Amino acid sequence: MSRANVTWGAPRIRNELAKLGIEIATSTVARYMVKQRKPPSPSWRAFLDIHVKDLVAIDFFTVPTATFGVLFGFLVLAHDRRRVLHFNVTANPSAEWTARQLVQAFPEERVPRFLVRDRDGIYGHRIRHTLDMLGIEEVITAARSPWQNAFAERLIGSLRRECLDHIVVLGEIHLLRILAGYFAYYNRARCHLSLAGDAPEPRPAQGPELGRVVELPEVGGLHHRYERAAA
């Protein structure tokens, strides 16, 4: 697993092995400690913990292309299971375009109570009007405080380290395909420390009685999913 997934750390490998019914200590597969992030303030952390099932986060990220252009990605992330609910790409982001993404992200039966966002100028009157119509309350982070939208920021960091930093993006359609592959892998297969080693869409553990271990490529072979398959 370490050779096939060069960006994985010891906890990721340990979690994948656990899904295959192989229990092993993280210290056994790692030589280096995981660098700890500075914890957020208690009051903000308490708010996130109390309302975790009612929270979603949105954020933009930029991606350079092979022709020296810049594309803008937009994502919507559910806090409770770290699941990506919606994403899209544009070369020309606007308030109207962003408002459409919010409407598409939240079918009537899945409208969250709170939405965490930063102070980007694109989130103006048009966005507030759309959220009011959907019945969603804005939670705006403090200026220059990306840690207050930590779940979305961490997802974007993972996306860069595990995918975009290894690929040359040719254009908008190409980037959409890349993101579709990565987020499908992220939602259904990628193990998370914050989810007790599970994926956003829960993965059952598979014991040795289910057969040999098979390696399934994901995201164009940048990552792999491991399952038991009967011979």
pLDDT of 36 reads 46
The average pLDDT across 118-140 equals 94
Minimum mean pLDDT among 27-31, 184-188, 206-210: which range? 27-31
The answer to whether the CB of 17 falls within 8 A of the CB of 32 is no
69, 168 in Cβ contact below 8 A?
A: no
Residue 37 pLDDT > 60, yes or no? Answer: no
Order of strands across the sheet with 83-90?
Answer: 83-90, 70-78, 55-64, 114-117, 137-140
Contact 141, 48 (CB under 8 A): no
Mean predicted confidence (pLDDT) in 102-113: 87
Q: How many other C-beta atoms are found inside a 10 Å radius of the C-beta of residue 190?
A: 26
Burial 28-58 (b: 16+ CB within 10 A, else e): ebeeeeeeeeeeeeeebeebbeebeeebbbb
pLDDT of 38 strictly over 60: no
Give 51-72 pLDDT, tens digit per residue.
Answer: 889 999 999 999 999 999 999 9
The predicted model scores a pTM of: 0.81
| pLDDT confidence of residue 6 | 67
Domains along the sequence of the chain with CATH:
1-36+201-231 (no CATH), 40-189 (3.30.420.10)
From first CA to last CA, the distance across the chain in angstroms is 21
- The answer to which of 33-47, 82-96, 199-213 has the lowest mean pLDDT is 33-47
pLDDT interval class at 185 (50, 70, 90): very high
